[in-house]
Amino acid sequence: MATPIEIREEAGVRTLHFGSEWIQGAMRIARPWNLELEYTREMMASLLLCDTPRKVLLIGLGAASLTKFLYRHYPLAHLTIVEIEPAVVAAARQFFKLPEDPKRINLVIGDGAEFVLNSNKKFDLVLVDGFDENARTGALETLPFYQACRTRLSGDGVLTVNMLTRSRGFKATAERIAEAFDDRTLVLPSSEAGNAIAFATCGDPIEISFDDLKESALALKKLTGLNLQPTLARLAQAKTCLNNQLVL
């Protein structure tokens, strides 16, 4: 049965729903290229760890927020998007300004987990944000999937996963990511919306001082307009960075 697609608008913000109250994506109509939802901004904190991604894999299209952000601000990046539901792609084009550019955007209609398990390509950045109408992720939160993501990363590539803390399996999901990446993971403190973002890598060890992170965040803001200062503040409060160092 096809996923029921619903588009809503309120206070200048257009949202995508799969026949439920869960928001699958959002766009401020006056600023279609901006990242409207907090969790999408936090997923882009991966750019502090991987600042010039050339090959990016996105699992789950939603309202195309991450796709549009990367497409606009990283003109050398080639984006592969895997979306299981054709109606979501149609909605992203019609209502959310998904760019039409086959040279830079490779849009695959298919199962994200199967794509990763069967692919032999390497990516600098893998972004996983796939949920159904009941906010379930299915195979996208299994150990074999995360292990396959690890094999798909380039030398210093980064995996970024959106997890819902409302899910009873949230901690187990984080543990599976940690197992797949030999504990080289970082989970941001849960946001007010109930999302927690996990980062993982398997390349050279990453050691960045908090001061350098702040400098990188300022440079990113200058380049893209994205303000990651609130994210860094929450990271500091969570004492994730021991001795003022992010070690991953």
Q: Which of 129, 132, 182, 183 is catalytic?
A: 129
| Catalytic site includes residue 51 | no
The Cα 202–Cα 102 span in angstroms is 30
CB 166 within 8 A of CB 133: no
Q: Long-range contacts for 141-144 (Cβ within 8 Å, ≥24 apart)?
A: 141/169, 141/173, 141/176, 142/113, 142/176, 143/176, 143/179, 143/180, 144/117
* Helical spans, DSSP H, in 161-243: 170-180, 210-224, 229-237
Place of tokens 């195309």: 64
Place of tokens 């069967």: 118
d(CA 63, CA 153): 25
In residues, how long is the chain?
248
Catalytically active residues, by annotation = 129
